[in-house]
Amino acid sequence: MVPSFTVRVCDRRTNTEYSLTVPANRYILETAEEQGVTLPFSCRNGACTACAVRVISGDLYQPEAMGLSPHLQEKGYALLCVSYPCSNLYVETQDEDEVYEQQFGRYFGKGKVRVGLPLDEE
């Protein structure tokens, strides 16, 4: 028998909190939708940051979260579309632009993008 966990999701866009029962072998986003809860998403395959949340408490497993750097994952960010609960969880949705800026902002607005050798080797 597969264990299930309580996943509480605070949706910051709507200031609404949802309580879901999610089996350990099911994606959180997919299960939320089956329970009538609409949360932000886009690609559904872990490649973007539309469904990003910040884990406030609990543990999850997200082996397919390509859209989040290891650094952001270590800081407690997760993608609900490819996350499995490992315990009871409390998560908070994030603004996609904020997460994107944290992940990629250092690369934008800093001048021309250079392709090729590093500056000291040219």
Convert the pLDDT of each residue in 51-89 to its tens digit: 999 999 999 999 999 989 999 999 999 999 999 999 999
Round to whole Å and give the CA distance between 61 and 42: 20
E-only strand ranges, 34-99: 52-57, 60-61, 77-79, 84-85, 89-93
- Output the average pLDDT for the chain: 89
Residue 111, phi then psi, degrees to nearest 5: 105, -165
Task: Read off the tokens for 28.
Answer: 């959180």
- Supply 98's token pair: 């904020």
DSSP character at residue 50: T
pTM score of the predicted model: 0.83
Instruction: Give the pair of three-digit tokens for residue 60.
Output: 């999850």
For residues 45 and 99, the answer to whether their CB atoms sit within 8 Å is no
Which helix (H) or strand (E) segment holds residue 105: the answer is: none
Class of domain 4-108: alpha beta
Domain ranges of the chain: 4-108
Q: What is the pLDDT of residues 96-111, one digit of tens each?
A: 888 888 887 766 655 5
